[in-house]
């Protein structure tokens, strides 16, 4: 088992680890630098998972994958023990059995595990199962650890689906916002009407059929205040005119065309790529495009949002890259909305309108 487990970490380009408990982590085994998609999901039942082990994982993870270590917070009885991975040569593998991520499992326990090679269909099925689990998980960070009861019988929640976890964000208070939300929904409807033309503009720029300046000049034909489909106030365009819209367009096209289960990973990767290229419009403009295209998944990142995060004492995931930190913020907002039954904003794009109302200067 040890050899196959080490192989998974050292050679995977895509890796899924699920375990009922985590009590130890071997930091001497390095994660492959080619690993672009990673999920480590552990259970929280009975407080068996150890905080020290979690911190080892948090420190071990590279900056661009800091938000890919999660707890099955919203699942009672999370008991899988499996590793699925794909290697650079296309080979797909699995290690499944009785072993949790504990030191005993790798040393003195009598465990029964089986290693097998998977077909593409089998691997896709395993990945889809992990993706389904992920929607009921929370990223393990210091806030999550502060609210986690270690090594104690965990009090059973009377209604775990509605319980608010310690890490869920405090959302803006709401009163007299019906008209504001109607206005935001109207902007989203207008955006959808212009979306095909805007997508053609992004594709033309991505493929070099138009220049950066032509993209900038044609953009108001598809998105802006004149059309009534822009969320944010003035800001990005003052410096955005000279931006590398070709690189930005390539990123957006890649994300829009991605499979649903790959999108979060690509968003993080593309934001990190744009950051490395110094593309300034990767923040307010690019994230509004993500928010408009995927209103349930991604937030706008502009000054009102930053003011909101400061007001609630939010601290980004320690050591995370810009892309991983952005997706982590998106994950926090998704969970916050999921836990607020009856909250007037039904998705992140609508929540952005309430944040703008409270925090726009």
**Residue ranges per structural domain of the chain:** 2-146, 178-359
What is the rounded average pLDDT of the residues 182-204? 97
Cα gap 342→356, rounded to integer Å: 20
What is the rounded average pLDDT of the residues 19-35? 92
In this prediction, residue 104 has a pLDDT band, given cuts at 50, 70 and 90, of low
Higher pLDDT, 240 or 45: 45
Give residue 164's pLDDT.
Answer: 41
Task: Identify the CA nearest to 22 among candidates 128, 140, 172, 120.
Answer: 140
In this prediction, residue 139 has a pLDDT band, given cuts at 50, 70 and 90, of very high
Give residue 234's pLDDT.
Answer: 74
Whether residue 277 is predicted with pLDDT greater than 70 in this model: the reply is yes
Cα gap 65→325, rounded to integer Å: 9
CA angle, residues 44, 50, 55, in degrees to nearest 5: 110
What is the rounded average pLDDT of the residues 219-227? 94
CB 358 within 8 A of CB 308: yes
What is the rounded average pLDDT of the residues 208-217? 95
Task: Identify the CA nearest to 181 among candidates 349, 300, 338.
Answer: 349
CA angle, residues 326, 51, 33, in degrees to nearest 5: 50
CB 284 within 8 A of CB 272: no
Residue reference for tokens 């890259």: 321
In this prediction, residue 153 has a pLDDT band, given cuts at 50, 70 and 90, of very low
Task: Identify the CA nearest to 210 among candidates 224, 220, 200.
Answer: 200
Residues 114-143, buried b or exposed e (16+ Cβ, 10 A)? ebeebeeeebeebbeebbebbebbbbbbeb
What is the rounded average pLDDT of the residues 261-285? 95
Indicate the DSSP class of residue 73: T
Beta partners for 92?
86, 118
Residues in CB range of 299: below 8 A, 6 or more apart: 287, 291, 305, 329, 330, 333, 348, 351, 352
Higher pLDDT, 168 or 245: 245
What is the rounded average pLDDT of the residues 151-179? 60
The fold of 2-146 is Endonuclease; Chain A (3.30.870)
CA angle, residues 190, 196, 202, in degrees to nearest 5: 110
Higher pLDDT, 233 or 279: 279
For the record, the structure tokens of 37 come out as 């998609």
Give residue 166's pLDDT.
Answer: 43
Mean of pLDDT over the chain: 89
Give residue 265's pLDDT.
Answer: 96
CB 87 within 8 A of CB 11: yes
pLDDT-wise least confident of 72-81, 163-172, 315-324: 163-172
Cα gap 165→222, rounded to integer Å: 40
CA 186 vs. chain centroid, Å, equals 27
Q: Which of 99-103, 238-242, 310-314 ranks highest by mean pLDDT?
A: 310-314
What is the rounded average pLDDT of the residues 58-80? 93
Whether residue 156 is predicted with pLDDT greater than 80 in this model: the reply is no
**Counts for the chain of helices (H) and strands (E), in that order:** 13, 7
- Give percent of the chain with pLDDT exceeding 70: 89
Whether residue 130 is predicted with pLDDT greater than 70 in this model: the reply is yes
In this prediction, residue 313 has a pLDDT band, given cuts at 50, 70 and 90, of confident
Cα gap 190→229, rounded to integer Å: 6
In this prediction, residue 154 has a pLDDT band, given cuts at 50, 70 and 90, of very low
What is the rounded average pLDDT of the residues 24-49? 92
Higher pLDDT, 236 or 113: 113
CB 349 within 8 A of CB 291: yes
Give residue 358's pLDDT.
Answer: 86
DSSP E strand boundaries for 146-253: none
- Structure pTM? 0.83
Give residue 124's pLDDT.
Answer: 95
């Amino acid at each position: 088992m040890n050899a196959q487990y080490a192989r998974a970490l050292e050679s995977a380009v895509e890796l899924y680890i699920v375990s009922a408990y985590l009590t130890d982590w071997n930091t001497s085994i390095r994660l492959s630098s080619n690993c672009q998609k990673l999920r480590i999901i552990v259970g929280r039942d009975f407080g068996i998972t150890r905080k020290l082990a979690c911190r080892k994982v948090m420190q071990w993870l590279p900056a661009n994958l800091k938000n890919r270590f999660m707890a099955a917070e919203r699942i009672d009885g999370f008991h899988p023990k499996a590793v699925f991975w794909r290697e650079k040569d296309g080979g797909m593998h699995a290690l499944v059995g009785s072993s949790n991520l504990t030191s005993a499992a790798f040393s003195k326990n009598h465990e029964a595990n089986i290693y097998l090679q998977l077909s593409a269909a089998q691997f896709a099925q395993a990945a889809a199962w992990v993706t389904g689990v992920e929607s009921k998980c929370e990223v393990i960070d210091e806030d999550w650890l502060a609210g986690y009861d270690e090594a104690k019988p965990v009090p059973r929640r009377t209604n775990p689906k509605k319980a608010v976890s310690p890490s869920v964000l405090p959302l803006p208070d709401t009163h007299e916002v019906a008209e504001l939300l109607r206005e935001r929904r109207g902007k989203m409807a207008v955006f959808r009407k212009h979306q095909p033309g805007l997508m053609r503009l992004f594709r033309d720029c991505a493929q070099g059929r138009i220049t950066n300046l032509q993209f900038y000049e044609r953009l108001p034909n598809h998105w802006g205040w004149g059309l009534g489909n822009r969320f944010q106030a003035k800001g990005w365009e003052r410096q955005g005119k000279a931006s590398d819209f070709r690189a930005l367009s390539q990123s957006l096209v890649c994300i829009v065309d991605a499979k649903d289960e790959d999108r979060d990973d690509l968003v993080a990767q593309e934001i990190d790529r744009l950051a490395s290229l110094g593309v300034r419009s990767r923040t307010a403009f690019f994230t509004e495009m993500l928010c408009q295209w995927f209103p349930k998944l991604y937030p706008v990142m502009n000054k009102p949002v930053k003011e909101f995060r400061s007001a609630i004492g939010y601290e980004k995931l320690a050591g995370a890259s810009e892309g991983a930190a952005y997706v982590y913020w998106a994950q926090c907002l998704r969970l916050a909305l999921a836990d607020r039954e009856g909250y007037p904003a039904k998705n992140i794009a609508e929540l952005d309108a309430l944040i703008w109302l409270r925090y726009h200067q």
